[in-house]
Structure 1
Amino acid sequence: MTTTGSAAGVAETYVRAWLGGDVEKAMGLIADDIVCQAPSGPVRGADAYRQFLAPFAGMLISGELLGVFGDDNSAAIVYTVDLPFAKDFRGAEYLTVEDGRITHAVSIFDRAPMMQAAGGQD
């Protein structure tokens, strides 16, 4: 699937998809060769990105898109979600879009609640 339009529009469609539990729709906006800089380390390629996104999206109790800011080439999204182990868990992503697909993502969130839920240290 190729989506046309601004990066901000692609970013909004992407985040609303996974916030709503539709990982397939979100992945339709991800380039095959995406590179994501995540707090846990780099994620390279669509298959690895699916493994990064799907478990997180599958845990969502609820989520809210707080804002999308961008232009035709890049966008920033800010969101908050409720998870089984954390309420009002906030995150942000800075996305680069080429030809209607997200090619680069910088994902920003605090890993401490996830580590604590897993029994690890923050």
Structure 2
Amino acid sequence: MTTDTAYELVKKYHHAWTSGNVERAMSYVADDITCRAPGVDLNGKDSYRAFIGGFAPMLTGIGDIAEFTDGDRIALFYYPQTESTTTTPAAEFFTVKDGKIAESVLIFDRLSYGPPEQD
């Protein structure tokens, strides 16, 4: 049986949630995941699922910029495209333990993903 490298696992997770399949994405996440995101610290898969699940439907596209891997630590830099913005970058730094994403640090500008300004 072949097991995914940490990088492969993170890429599968990222592709799943950015394609709208949050449940598949959660299959790559540890039950006790911790995530630090702008304005919130998330603990546990249920909180993380709710956070990701609340944002995923807003995506209209995704633009990849760069990736970095160092063993079980992977960083992804990308453009989550929504009705509000297509040019605001985001970064995620993952730590994989025992074949699951155990930690995530998510960096983005929250204000850029708010409702579009009305003229």
Equivalent residue, structure 1, for 2:93: 94
Contact between 2:18 and 2:59, CA under 8 Å: does it hold in 1? yes
| Alignment-derived partner of residue 79 in structure 1 | 78
Contact map agreement 1:79 1:92 (CA 8 A) in 2:
yes
**Deviation of 1:22 (Å):** 1.3
**CA distance in structure 2 between the partners assigned to 1:82 and 1:16 by the alignment:** 14
TM-score w.r.t. structure 2 length?
0.87
SS in 2 for 1:89: coil
- Once the two structures are superposed, the pairs formed by residues 1-122 of structure 1 within 5 Å of their partners are 4-115=3-114, 117=115
Flag as ranges the 4+ runs of structure 1 deviating above 6 A. none
Q: CA deviation at 1:67?
A: 2.8
Q: Distance in 2 between matches of 1:12 and 1:67?
A: 12
Distance 1:58 1:114 in 2: 13
Whole-angstrom CA distance in 2 between matches of 1:61 and 1:70: 27
Matched residue of 1:8: which SS? helix
- Name the TM-score, length of structure 1 as normaliser: 0.85
| Residue identity matched to 1:28 | S
Percent identity between the aligned chains? 37
Is this contact kept in 2: 1:82–1:88, CA < 8 A? yes
Say what the alpha-carbon RMSD is for the aligned residues.
1.9
**Equivalent-residue separation in structure 2 for 1:62 and 1:118 (angstroms):** 17
Deviation at 1:118, TM superposition (A): 8.4
Distance 1:39 1:7, change over 3 A: same
Give the letter for the 1:10 counterpart: L
Between the aligned partners of 1:64 and 1:25, the Cα distance in structure 2 is 20
Structure 1 portions without partners, runs of 5+? none
Deviations 1:58-79 (A, max 9, x none): 1101112323221331100111
Alignment: residue pair count: 116
The aligned amino acid for 1:23 is V
Q: Is the partner of 2:89 in helix, strand or coil?
A: strand
**Secondary structure of the structure 2 residue equivalent to 1:88:** coil
